[in-house]
Amino acid sequence: MPTAWYPKDKEKLIEILDELMNAPAKKHKVNGLIVPHAGYEFSGKIAGKAFAMLKDSKKTKAVVIGPSHYIGFEGVRALKEIETPLGKIKIMENNFKTLDYEHSIDNEIPFLQGLGFKEILPLVTGEISKEKAKEIALKISKIKDAVFIFSTDLSHFLPYEEAVDKDRKTIRAIENCEECEEIDACGKSALSILMELCKLKNWNPRLIEYKNSGDITGDKNSVVGYSSFYF
């Protein structure tokens, strides 16, 4: 795979998506996913295994929530448009302030397009209070016939064993819907909305797979953690 987040050639991207999502759809009810957002050569298989669970979904709308990496702000903003090599995807009508780009959102869109999703609400989180997280969770919970995609990587740039230990604590907190200091994830602000949404809906995240970049590249001196869940 190229060093870009994902292939920019349409046919190559389709080929990669087919490869990454080649796992059979599991027979679980899937309301949503938590997936990583690194380059596909690093975290694509972990994300693909999760997205494969949506193969039999009849839904065509998705709410995609991920953290801001490029600018700081308070609250939540929406991407105003998204175009991948697979084409533009329709953005749901909304009244959020807008951003032009965020890879934590954009990297998930080809997976959704490959599965036949037609419309998304792409929300980017900045600094977010518990009250705001509750407000957004309540708002998106009213969107009918949508799946919810939360985008986050785990710990960054730690030695392998230290990363595994820290990521295990984060995974445990996510599965228990606990907002706590144990969570070490770039998408912690997005996960705060997930916690509130799961409380509203009585959903529980369940781990699909965990790895870190050391498992993929062999370089275990400084790694980034990746995990996927369904709920």
Q: How confident is the model at residue 23 (pLDDT cuts 50, 70, 90)?
A: confident
Q: How far is 178 from 216, CA to CA, in rounded Å? A: 29
Q: What is the mean pLDDT of residues 190-215?
A: 96
Q: How confident is the model at residue 179 (pLDDT cuts 50, 70, 90)?
A: confident
DSSP category for residue 127: B
Q: How far is 114 from 194, CA to CA, in rounded Å? A: 24
Is 3 a residue whose pLDDT tops 60? Answer: no
DSSP category for residue 26: P
Is 195 a residue whose pLDDT tops 80? Answer: yes
Reported as a single tens digit per residue, the pLDDT across 132-147 is 999 999 999 999 999 9
Residues written for the chain:
231
Q: What is the mean pLDDT of residues 89-97?
A: 97
Q: DSSP assignment of 50-94, as one string?
A: HHGGGTT----EEEEEEE-SS---BSEEEES-EEETTEEEEEPP-
**Lowest-confidence region among 40-54, 86-100, 167-181:** 167-181
**What residues form DSSP beta bridges with 229?**
34, 207
What pLDDT score does 178 carry?
85
What pLDDT score does 170 carry?
97
Residues contacting 202, CB < 8 A, separation 6+: none
**What residues form DSSP beta bridges with 137?**
none
Q: What are the two backbone dihedrals, phi and then psi, of residue 228, each rounded to the nearest 5 degrees?
A: -135, 145
Q: What is the mean pLDDT of residues 191-212?
A: 96
One-letter amino acid for residue 92 of the chain: M
Q: What is the mean pLDDT of residues 78-90?
A: 97
Reported as a single tens digit per residue, the pLDDT across 214-228 is 999 999 999 999 999
**Lowest-confidence region among 19-33, 85-99, 153-167, 201-215:** 19-33
For the domain made up of 10-21+34-154+165-230, the CATH class stated in words is: alpha beta
Token digits of residue 27: 């027979």
Q: What Cα–Cα distance (Å) separates residue 132 from each residue in 97, 129, 139, 196? A: 15, 5, 10, 10
What pLDDT score does 219 carry?
96
Q: What is the mean pLDDT of residues 72-91?
A: 97
Q: What Cα–Cα distance (Å) separates residue 18 from each residue in 38, 44, 48? A: 18, 11, 9
